[in-house]
Structure 1
Amino acid sequence: MSALTYLQELPRFVFFTGKGGVGKTSLACATAVRLAENGARVLLVSTDPASNVGQVFGVTIGNRITAIPGVPGLDAIEIDPQQAADAHRAAIIDPVRDLLPAAEIAAMTEQLSGACTTEIASFNEFAALLADDALTESCQHILFDTAPTGHTIRLLQLPGEWTSYLADGKGDVSCLGPVAGLDRLRTDYAAALATLTDPARTRLVLVTRPQASSLREAARTLHELVELGMHDAHLVVNGVLPTGLEDDPLAAAVADREQAALNELPPALAALPRTTIPLLPFNTVSTPALRALLDPTLVSAVLVATTEGTPPALPDGFADLRSLVDELAADGPALVMCMGKGGVGKTTVAAAVALELSRRGHEVLLTTTDPAAHLSETLGADVPHLSVSRIDPERAITDYRSRVMASKGAKLDDAGRAVLAEDLKSPCTDEVAVFQQFSQVVFRSRKQFVVLDTAPTGHTLLLLDATGSYHREIVRQMSPGAHYTTPLMRLQDAHQTKVVLVTLPETTPVLEAEELQVDLARAGITPFAWVVNTSLTAAHLTSPFLRARAAAEAPSLRRVAELASRVAILPLLAHEPVGTTALSALTHALPEGNLVHA
């Protein structure tokens, strides 16, 4: 473990940021405990939708400042993003609920149901907290578990009046709805943004894992936030496999892979002050476990005190990926959409499924947005019955933004164009742009398997339906009794479309997949199956450390079993699954000992 560089000369405000599952909450909680036990008065604020701060400390916290038992000087508060978003929606919709037709109210509600609404509503709560001196003046340090994204900050810095812009009918659907009615809060936002960008008052702690995908995402986040003036940034590489495990072939291979990723750090990350924190053999739940996260000398005592150490049996119903492909093949040609948050292995799962279907003699089209084109190069002409079309997301998004700016933007003034340009940088807009490319190949799934790596969320699908009104226009034009199928209907048809949610056996990725499942349900889409990727529980382990670590997966695996009707599980592999041989191994039946059920 390296020196805790990120704690040196710590300013008053500290923001922990990073993609889901990298350990932001654990690190924020551990840091809060360490500072409080060193004599500081600390307030820990969570705005993470996947927050489990209360669970970590074993106390109910919620949206009120709560003293943490056993840690004098430490208080915590959880800002519930969903609750904030619900209140924000109600403030906008309730005044007009009785004045507008039900269809318009439904459209407004959907417009205010995406990730942008949640982020902006959470930022509203965050700004109010920063502005409340009476509430925070006694604290030497205020730690935030999850910083606002660069997109949210840019939205709140835009010129002009959002409400009048929307009222004039100039707005689009992805992010302008969430900012409606917020002009009155500009003063509070300006003060909050000034705090964020002042290095004397604020530090950004960028949390990542020693994995190439996680490091790329960290570099992207850093670029966004540095552009906005957040210059005091520190890198924390969390969950690095400790030394001394070389006798376990799997552990040795993973350690080599991690070191290779760290040796190739993006230049912007390599230039940051860096702290390295080793992976623990147990979950960081409880104050002793949090202390051990920042003090390795305490690890052995915590491990002895826990019951984690014996790898759990898999819940009933878990199978290997081959069994999932068996069911897909039996049902015949369909659209297979692999979905999930970044870094969970969607591209790998999509490629493995497509390869196995083609090797069974089915005609398959694999459409991927993977920016690393090695899958296309590896699979392209070498596999009979399999064709690959790689979509370039950056080009699709750039082309889409250019078209919208040239059409809608041509009628706007400079302030209006600035608002529209930022709106077109939203994640929802990105999904719309890429899905327009996807839609050109979707119709082919009537006669062959089409496997999509990455697909739009339920919220985006509903926005696509609302903005183009395509589905409703088709319905309106058809005579009574006529047969028709719109794209949305095809996606809702469980025989024609198979949605596969990909996740990891960890708390945050599973919660994110659960939220995605709820999101899809609003669009009338039910996932066909879940895939749990890179599981230690499903791997062959000899190291006591890894066996203890596998035991920590049990709660997440049980939750997946509750949420999914079908679950395939893939073990953590010694080598990256790149190339036809490695990908084919993913759809081989797992050894019987790897799938022991409770």
Structure 2
Amino acid sequence: MTDSTSYLFFTGKGGVGKTSLACATAVELADSGKTVLLVSTDPASNLKDVLESPVDENINSINGINNLFAININPEHAAEEYRNRVTQPLEGIATKDEINKIREDLSGACTTEIASFDEFSRFVSSESEGEKFDVIIFDTAPTGHTLRLLELPAAWSSFTDENPDGASCLGPTSALKSGKERYHLVVDRLRDRDLTTFYIVSRAEKASLKEASRTSKELKELGMSNQRLYINGVFKAIEKQDSLAIKIEEMANEQLETIPDNLKLLPSKSYPLLPYNVLGISKLRSLFNNELQKSISEKTISKLEVSTQVLKGIDQLVDELCMNQQNGLIMTMGKGGVGKTIAASAIAVLLAKKGFEVMLTTTDPAAHIQDFIEQLGEMPPTLTVERIDPKAETQRYMEKILLHKGKGQSEEAKKLIQEDLKSPCTEEVAVFHAFSKAISMAKRKFVVMDTAPTGHTLLLLDTAGSYHRDIMRNNLNAERLKTPYMYLQDPKLAKIILVSLPETTPMREAASLQDDLKRAGIKPYAWLINQSLSMLSGISDPLLRSRANAEIDVIHTIKSIHAERTYGIPFIAEKKLLPALLHEYYETSK
């Protein structure tokens, strides 16, 4: 590692261990004599906890290591400043509603990312104390969408000022602190193999590896090909008599054997799942030091006491969902990889087993629902399964927008509109139009939907006057009409289940999603904690016992701070996940 490039970027799905590996790398480089700056742009950053040292929006030295420094760029603050810079010149000119619409246009993930990139680009271009450091490490890298958008010449022309609806992600370029030249310099440096390395972090899990594969491909297409693959948290059983531990190890090995082809070409390293949380300099050093790792693990395991966590099961959640109700919309929401699909499938099957008419549908591009249902062999007769194809819906929506907004524009301007339409928000808006049809069915039966739009998308639809207002304005019976947006706001008709893992990062991401929904007037019904080891009794493997113990504080935080109702799904180490989860409920309901 001591021969590292000047700029190191760590990227990957939430909860894979990007921050731990970025911090451990920073410590190792600082120990080797280099002066290192660690920069985080993660909205749920826990750099302060991991480094056990004050970290804020200023460059601070880290306790215990003279030549290690860190800064946390708060993306929410950066995005808010960015929105203020856009709307300030319009005060007194535009109406309050128009300004609110522009602010909501600029409330998506893309704007937050661009605002963060605007901040940290100054470190890569050496214009913000960057020259003081031998190595700058970024915990969380920008996506390909952001980088492509900023590369388009049209993004820097007067087009954005003249056509504010043309680029909802970028907005007027006058709001950017950085200039066109600086961005070009930064992108050139990111492409330079001698200057920049991208570390793609994954777990030994299908969803995580798939995301890593997509990220690698996207970066390579942008000419950023100096990549490394880190597979983190690989489980190795300690107690060979623990059947659960042996099964988990076997399943992890199987996943690693089916690693995507493009990832096989990257130099890679794997790191074990540890029985302790990697907090503090000593534990960070242990990530790359086997002897230290062994010593800390033995101390941690020797003083371990585990209590079993009691959570209501998914069967009790279903009992409450259908209490005094024959129909309604149930949506599972959460970040990728937390188990939304298995949760939606289980809820739908349990409702159907009670004799209710149920439609199970998904807006997930990966569409794993069919895989889960096929595991059952026989489907309950009252259950139907459908799929909204996001690709087809998005294509239809993009063509409609391009026709409308691209009329009379130059080719360069059209390119900008096209790139802007590649943002995640576009797919959500397009899918919303499609699942409006599914929502109408929920007046007659239960509709269980895997994946739903974020609060930002819902607000965008409402404040932009697009769908909701058009219907209200053009319908003679508007006072009796309930639009899909209003339907989602009605807790009697729509119930949203937030799915999380019993780990800190997924919990923080789900809490952020909950805040986003509440901003749109939508209050989640319950939290469902998936893959909980602490719900199981009889675990003898010390490593699993340690992980189960670590869940207790997270679950307590969810129950006491975030959720009105909390349910759990125990950890299941089976290939046929849905039948295994439903087995005990089937047995008791016969």
Same fold (TM over 0.5): yes
Contact 2:87 2:103 in 1 (8 A): yes
- Cα 1:58–1:586 change in 2 (3 A) is farther
- Does the residue aligned with 2:53 lie in a helix, a strand or coil? coil
Distance in 2 (CA, whole Å) between partners of 1:299 and 1:589 is 44
Any conservation in 1 of the 2:164–2:172 contact (CA below 8 Å)? no
User: How far 1:498 sits from its partner (Å)?
Assistant: 0.3
Letter in 2 for 1:572: F
1:53-76 deviation per Cα after TM superposition (whole angstroms, max 9, x unaligned): 111122221011111111231111
**Using a 3 Å threshold, how does the CA distance of structure 1 residues 546 and 86 change in structure 2: closer, same or farther?**
same
CA distance in 1, matches of 2:329, 2:172: 32
Q: Distance in 1 between matches of 2:97 and 2:442?
A: 32
2:315 corresponds in structure 1 to: 322
- Aligned match for 1:83, one of 77, 81, 88: 77
Tell me which residue corresponds to 1:574: 573
Q: CA-to-partner distance for each residue in 1:362-394, whole Å, 9 max, x for gaps?
A: 100000234344135456973210000022322
**Aligned 1:375-414 pairs, distance under 5 A:** 375=372, 377-378=374-375, 382-414=379-411
Cross-structure match for 1:594: none
Counterparts of 1:209-288 in structure 2, within 5 Å, are 209-288=203-282
Shift of 1:405: 2.8
The 1:98–1:134 alpha-carbon spacing in structure 2 relative to 1, beyond 3 Å, is closer
Secondary structure of 2:154's partner? coil
C-alpha contact (below 8 Å) 2:8/2:199 kept by paired residues: yes
Match of 2:14 in 1: 20
Residue of structure 2 equivalent to 1:371 = 367
Q: Specify the alignment match of 2:91 in structure 1.
A: 97
Query: Do structure 1's residue 533 and structure 2's residue 497 form an aligned pair?
Result: no
1:501–1:513 contact (8 Å) kept in structure 2 = yes
Paired position in structure 2 for 1:192 = 186
In the alignment, does 2:41 pair up with 1:47? Answer: yes
What is the SS of the residue equivalent to 1:73?
strand
CA contact 1:536–1:549 (8 Å) conserved in 2: yes
1:58 maps to a residue whose letter is E
Deviations 1:435-491 (A, max 9, x none): 222222110001110011000001011112234533234445678994321211110
**Distance change >3 Å, CA 234–CA 444, structure 1 → 2:** same
Give the whole-Å Cα distance in 2 for the aligned partners of 1:392 and 1:341: 19
Q: Which amino acid aligns with 2:544?
A: L
Match of 2:306 in 1: 311
Change (3 A) 1:468 1:138: closer
Structure 1 residue ranges without an equivalent (≥5): 1-6, 591-598
- Secondary structure at 1:494's aligned position in 2? coil
CA distance in structure 2 between the aligned counterparts of 1:183 and 1:589, rounded to whole angstroms: 62
Residues in 1 aligned to 2:164 and 2:413: alpha-carbon distance in whole angstroms? 8
1:146 lines up with 2:137 in the alignment: no
Deviates more, 1:249-258 or 1:371-380: 371-380
Partner of 1:524: 521
Matched, 1:485 2:482: yes
The residue aligned with 1:115 is: 109
Q: How far apart, CA to CA, are the structure 2 residues paired with 1:313 and 1:177?
A: 51
Inter-CA distance 554–180: structure 2 relative to 1 (3 Å threshold): farther
Equivalent residue of 2:350, what SS?
Answer: helix
CA contact (8 A) 1:161 1:183 kept: no
Matched residue, 2:51:
57
The amino acid that maps onto 2:565 is: R
Match of 1:3 in 2: none
Q: CA RMSD in A?
A: 2.4
Any idea what SS the aligned residue of 2:193 has? coil
Aligned to 1:353: 347
Task: State the SS of the aligned residue for 2:175.
Answer: coil
Work out whether residues 321 and 568 of structure 1, in 8 Å CA contact, stay in contact via their aligned partners in 2.
yes
Aligned partner of 1:311: which letter? V
2:413 is matched with 416
**From 537, 542, 545, the counterpart of 1:544:** 542
Give the whole-Å Cα distance in 2 for the aligned partners of 1:180 and 1:531: 43
Residues 274 and 297 in structure 2, CA contact (< 8 A), matched pair in contact too:
no
Q: Is the 8 A contact 2:38 2:136 kept in 1?
A: yes
| Of 438, 442, 445, the match for 2:442 | 445
Q: Tell me the CA shift for residue 163 of structure 1.
A: 6.5
Structure 2 counterpart of 1:471: 468
Cα deviation, 1:491-512, whole Å, max 9, x if unaligned, reads: 0000000001111111111111
CA-to-aligned-CA distance 1:335-387 (integer Å, 9 cap, x gap): 01111111111110000000000000110000023434413545697321000
- 1:286 Cα deviation from its structure 2 partner: 1.3
Q: Supply the distance in 2 between the matched residues of 1:124 and 1:545 (Cα, whole angstroms).
A: 42
Aligned length: 581
CA distance 1:218–1:64, change in 2 (3 Å): same
Task: Summarize deviations over 1:31-66 as a string: whole Å, max 9, x none.
Answer: 111111122211111111121111112222101111
Q: 1:586 to 1:459 in 2, by over 3 A?
A: farther
Amino acid at match of 2:84: A
- The one-letter amino acid of 2:512's match is E
The secondary structure found in structure 2 opposite 1:513 is helix
1:54 match: secondary structure:
helix
Tell me whether 322-331 or 372-381 shows the greater mean CA deviation.
372-381
Letter in 2 for 1:409: G
Cα deviation code 1:199-227 (max 9, x no counterpart): 11000000000001100010001111110
CA contact (8 A) 1:24 1:207 kept: yes
Shift of 1:400: 2.7
Deviation of 1:112 after TM superposition, in Å, equals 1.4
The one of 456, 459, 462 aligned to 1:459 = 456
Distance 1:419 1:569 in 2: 45
